[in-house]
Every structure is written in structure tokens, then in C-alpha cells.
Amino acid sequence: MPSALPPHPDLRRLRDLARTLQRGCRSGDPSSQSRLLSVFPDANPGQLALSKALAVVARDYGYPSWPSLKAEVEARRSSGAEDTPRRNSEPIYEGKAKILYEGSDPGTLIQYFKDDTTAFDAGKTAVLSGKGAVNNRISGFVMARLSAIGVQNHFIKRLNQREQLIRKVEIIPIEVVCRNIAAGSLSQRLNLPEGEWLPHPLVEFFLKDDKLHDPMVATEHITTFEWASSQEIDQIKVLTLRINDELGKVFEAVGITLVDFKVEFGRVWDGETSRIILADEISPDSCRLWDSATNKKLDKDRFRRNLGDVIESYTEVAQRLGV
């Protein structure tokens, strides 16, 4: 099971851990060998190469590979970022999967990704060690890709393993779901076989309210109750379809099919006028992602449906994306 990196990780210390594992495996120490085999079932412990031992150490800390762990440690050293949060304040909000703190600059927040995992509006909960770190990396990477094609969003930069600096928005209390393939609640509602491609991407709206189990709402509800204006809804639809196009390409390039996803949007104000930007997160917690060759689920459905290997699958997504 992955664990959190120590507060001031040091490459020399991490290499020492790998050498200790290598020595243990070569000398027949059973606990070193079982640690190796739990990550690389086909490895030969008697001839463990240092590169493989480094990869095991990286996996222990929830990183897909040694280069990604090394890059993280080097990035922290050069930015002065620490594992201990930069926050100097009490949380302003704690949700099911994330905590928000005031950022040091006005209009910013620190988004802390927890290992807590919930499904069915918190009807089912667990702590999955390493999940927060993986989702922080995936969401930061995806948001940066979206910025690059002009989809404005709240991501400013990743601060450390579990935290990213984001722009504070006034959240629109609507979960926007976009679907390419029938699955989940759409399959149930309309009795569609899971896995059937839809004629074109479908955008649906749900009210963000766990107590009501996030009911589906029509655009008329959204305007009637003034959750958003009709102009804002139009913008949200256009943005969601652009996000779908780009995300579809990003995942397809690494052999993953984007089945569906949920996003949230918020307003940023400039005097009397506001504009809509993408907020929250994009990760295996909020998307359905299937391996393109086998249709293996690599997302939160593994947790919802007790399929096992949840964190391993999230890590697989991160690894394929190279983060």
C-alpha cells in the first residue's frame, strides 16, 4: 500500500531504501522479497536490479515510476515547496474528498486532496492510501492541458504531493455530466446496455445536493431557481463539449477510453461582471475511464462495485499519462 512521502524527502535516502531492499531480496529476506513481488510478481528477487528496487520504492510512495518520484523530489527542492502544507489558516471547507484552505494571495485557495473515498453520496466510504496524491497529479496535469487549449480553469500550480494552488470561484451548484458511452445512472435510468456508444456526446445536469442524492435537473430548473442564467448554461455546455473533445484525445493517446465525466464550474468576478471557469477536479474519481483494449475499468467504479485494485488502477492512469 502506498504511503505519504516524508516531509523533506531526500534522493539519497530514497536510493538507500532501494539498496536495502535490493540487498534484502538478494540475501533471501522474506519480507523484502514479498514487498518486491507484491509490485512485480514476475521479478527474480535473487537478481534484483537497482532500477527495479527504485521502482518499488516509488510505488511504495504512490508514484508510478522512479523518474516521477525523482522529479517530484527535485521539484520540491527547487521550489522550496514542502510536504507540510503551506497553509497558514484553518480549513474554510472540508468536503468528502478535498479540503480547501485560503491561499496566501487574495482570490486563491489551496486544494488538499484527501485519501478519503466515498460513493453513493457518502453511503459507502473508505480511506485509500495514496489516492489524494495520485488525483492531485492527474487533475493538475489535465487542467494544464485544458488551459493550453484555452479552456480557462482554476488550476494555478501544484504545490506538493497533495496540494494545488487554485483560483477561488463562486461555485455553481450544478454537477455537469458529459457522456460518450452509456454507463452508470444513464444505463439504469433508460435501461441502456452499459458500453453502448451514444449517437453524440450527451450533457446532463444534476443539482449538487448529497441529501437529495444529486437529482437530475432540467435547464429550466437551473434558470427558475437562479442557480445559473441561460447565458451561463450555454457557455457551460460549450465548455463541457470542448473539455470532452480534449480529454477524449488525451486519454485515447494512452489507450484509455473516456466513457463519461463530471465537472463543476464557477464564477470569477471582475467588478460587476463575471465569467465562468472550470473548477473542482478531473480525475478517476470524477471520470469513467476504460482500458481501450480490454474495457477494464480504471476509475471509481472499481470502488463503487467492489472490483478491487482501486489505487492500482488510478496509479495506472497516472503512469500512462506520465505524471
Which residues of this chain interact with ligand ASP, rule CB under 6 A? 96, 118-122, 300, 304
**Interaction between residue 264 and ligand ADP (CB under 6 A):** yes
Question: Which residues is 185 bridged to in the sheet?
Answer: none
Cβ contacts of 216-223, under 8 Å, gap ≥ 24: 216/189, 217/174, 222/174
Cβ neighbours for 237, distance < 8 A, ≥ 6 positions apart: 203
Alpha-carbon gap, residue 179 to 202, rounded angstroms: 5
Q: Examine residue 69 and tell whether it contacts ligand ADP (CB under 6 A).
A: no
The CB-of-48 to ligand ASP minimum distance in angstroms stands at: 39
Q: Could you tell me if 168 and 176 are in contact, meaning their C-beta atoms sit under 8 angstroms apart?
A: no
Size of the site for ligand AIR (CB under 6 A): 14
Q: How far is CA 122 from CA 91, 165, 189, 210, in A?
A: 20, 26, 21, 8
Per-residue binding string, ligand AIR, 164-183, x by CB under 6 A, is -----------x-x-----x
Considering the complex, what minimum distance in angstroms separates the CB of residue 147 from ligand ASP?
25
25-33, 166-174, 226-234, 304-312 -> range binding ligand ADP (CB under 6 A): 166-174
Beta-strand (E) ranges in 103-246? 108-113, 116-119, 124-127, 155-158, 163-167, 170-171, 174-181, 197-207, 216-217
Cα dist from 103 to 82, 99, 112, 130, 295, whole Å: 15, 12, 11, 24, 40
Considering only 96, 145, 221, 267, the residue that binds ligand ADP (CB under 6 A) is: 96
Considering only residues 234 to 263 of the shown chain, the ones binding ligand AIR according to CB under 6 A are 260-262
Q: Name the phi and psi angles at 5, rounded to 5.
A: -65, 145
> What, of ligand ADP, ligand ASP, ligand AIR, none, does residue 280 touch, CB below 5 to 8 Å by kind?
ligand ADP
Q: Is 168 in the site for ligand ADP (CB under 6 A)?
A: yes
Q: Name the segment binding ligand ADP (CB under 6 A); options: 13-21, 49-57, 163-171, 305-313.
A: 163-171
Applying CB under 6 A, the residues found at the interface with ligand ADP are 93, 95-98, 100, 109, 154, 166-169, 171, 264, 266, 279-280
Applying CB under 6 A, the residues found at the interface with ligand AIR are 175, 177, 183-186, 260-262, 285-288, 300
